[in-house]
Every structure is written in structure tokens, then in C-alpha cells.
Amino acid sequence: MNNAPDKSAVKAYLLDLQDRICNALAAEDGGAGFVEDSWVRAEGGGGRTRVLANGTVIEKGGVNFSHVHGTQMPASATAHRPELAGRAFEAMGVSLVIHPNNPYVPTSHANVRFFIAEKEGAEPVWWFGGGYDLTPYYGSEADVVHWHQTAKNACDPFGEDVYPRYKKWCDEYFHLKHRNEARGVGGLFFDDLNEQGFDKSFAFLRAVGDSYVPAYQPILAARKNTPFGERERQFQLYRRGRYVEFNLVYDRGTLFGLQTGGRTESILMSLPPLVRWEYDYNPQPGSAEAELYEKFLPQRDWLK
């Protein structure tokens, strides 16, 4: 087992992953391309933010790479790891959110990241984290099964318990406690991954990162030309509000970025361009909108 972390190998992989995801999504959109905005963080590090706006298929999509470092761990990182307080840190990752135009295409989110905390005279503490989740507005069982099957296929070489464990963690993490409601239909979520050594942990991160495009692109292709009207659009904008609520109230990545003095434009890139809230909305019984709440948002095993 090789436990020596190779930061340069992780960074090279993440930059390549960003390239591959952007190329695949821009090709599927067929209209707009990603515009790159490179940035430097005053306290150390920087990144490259890529945004596709007003595309043929994607209303707003962002694929971020960041690599930041500093001398003090932020509160969001030490909250559940208090022993790391006072260590210098490096964090690098790729994070993306895709908000399509068509309400029949789900929003998708993915993130893969590496964190290392170092202190002179002590062993470095490092871990991988990440995952991806799907947020439909009008559900398709075929899409959700495909999404979860792709996630399971990525996990299976690492143990039969991996997919169910990280699927459950995703369901629990992407949950709006104040509404007692799931954000979407889940996927994978993992954090603090290091117990099997660097090589195997890094291999798992790559398996998850590499499976995002095969999980999402077929759904995008299948649904992007579905006809829709103003009713569907208004429901999409209403449900996007849940996305905003989660990202601003609970999301660890958002909190980490803001607490470390990250670039606000890049951190909040995940938010949709248009969104609405409605007081005490309840879908009409028996409607397609009600089906989302009744069939798709409750936690379930999609592969049985």
C-alpha cells in the first residue's frame, strides 16, 4: 500500500477532467462554448472557472477547477476535524453544476476534491471527497436508474458495499432539513477517504470523476428536445429555489470557499440564472408536478 500522497498527479488529473467534461458538455449543447476565467487568490493559489451561458441546451453551466492553499485551516474544515486546527492546508478540486434550459432535463452536480493538511514534524493528513447528484424537475425512472447504475458500476470494483454506503450518504447529505425534503434523487457522496492508502483512494476518485459524463450525457441527449411550455418552465424555476436554499445554507464546499476567502463569483457559480419562490405552493393532486414529490424525492433503492 502506497501512502505517500502525490499532489502533482492529483492536480494533473483534475485539470484533464475539467477539460474532458467541458468538451463533452459543449459538444452536447452544440451552441455556446465554455468561457474561461482564470483567477489568483491573494492568500495563495487560484483556479480556472469555466462557464457556459445561454447555450442551446444549457442555460447556465459552470465547471470549476481550483487549487488553494493557506497557513490556517478554515472553520468549515476543522468543525468535524478539530485536531487539524493550526495546520497549513492545500485543497484542490473540480466542481460543476449544470442548469439546463429544458425542464425535462435534470440539473446535475459533481465534485471531486483532494485535501491535505501539513505541519512540520508531523505526518501529513490527507483525504479525498466528492460525488455527484441529480435534481430532476419532471422525473423519468429510466434516467434515474441509468444515473444510479452508472454510479454503481464505478463503485463496484472497490467493494460491493461501496455504492450502497455512498448512495445512503448522498441521500442524507443532499437533504433540506428545514423542508424535510430531498434536493433530488441522489447519487454518490463520500468524504474523508484515505483508509486504503493513497493509490487506491486516488483510483476511486478517478473512477467517480470519469463516470460523470457517462452518467449525465445520455440523459441530456435523450431529454433536451422534449417539448415544454410555460407551466413546466415556472415549475422548474420554483424547484430551482431548493437548489439555492441548499447551497447557501448547507453546502460544505460553499462554506469552505467563503471562509477561506475564495473567489465569490466562482463559489456562487453553482446558482441558477433565474429562480422564483412562491408562498405555500402545493402541486395539484395527480399532476406531473405532484409525481416529483410522491415518486422521485422520497429516498429509495433505484436499482431494485
Alpha-carbon gap, residue 239 to 134, rounded angstroms: 13
Is 99 known to sit in a ligand binding site?
yes
Is 80 known to sit in a ligand binding site?
no
Is 148 known to sit in a ligand binding site?
yes
Is 46 known to sit in a ligand binding site?
no
Alpha-carbon gap, residue 287 to 119, rounded angstroms: 57
Is 253 known to sit in a ligand binding site?
no
Instruction: Confirm if 192 and 68 have CB atoms less than 8 A apart.
Output: no
Cβ neighbors of 200 (< 8 A, separation 6 or more) are 1, 158
Alpha-carbon gap, residue 215 to 184, rounded angstroms: 15
Cβ neighbors of 35 (< 8 A, separation 6 or more) are 50, 51, 52, 53
Active-site residue flag, 109 = yes
- Candidate list 67, 69, 80, 109, residue with the active-site label: 109
Is 112 known to sit in a ligand binding site?
yes
Is 263 known to sit in a ligand binding site?
yes
Q: Please tell me whether residue 301 adopts helix, strand or coil conformation.
A: coil
Is 240 known to sit in a ligand binding site?
no
Binding residue ranges for substrate = 95, 111-113, 261-263
Just list the catalytic residues.
109
Binding residue ranges = 95, 99, 109, 111-113, 148, 178, 261-263
Binding residue ranges for a divalent metal cation = 99, 109, 148, 178
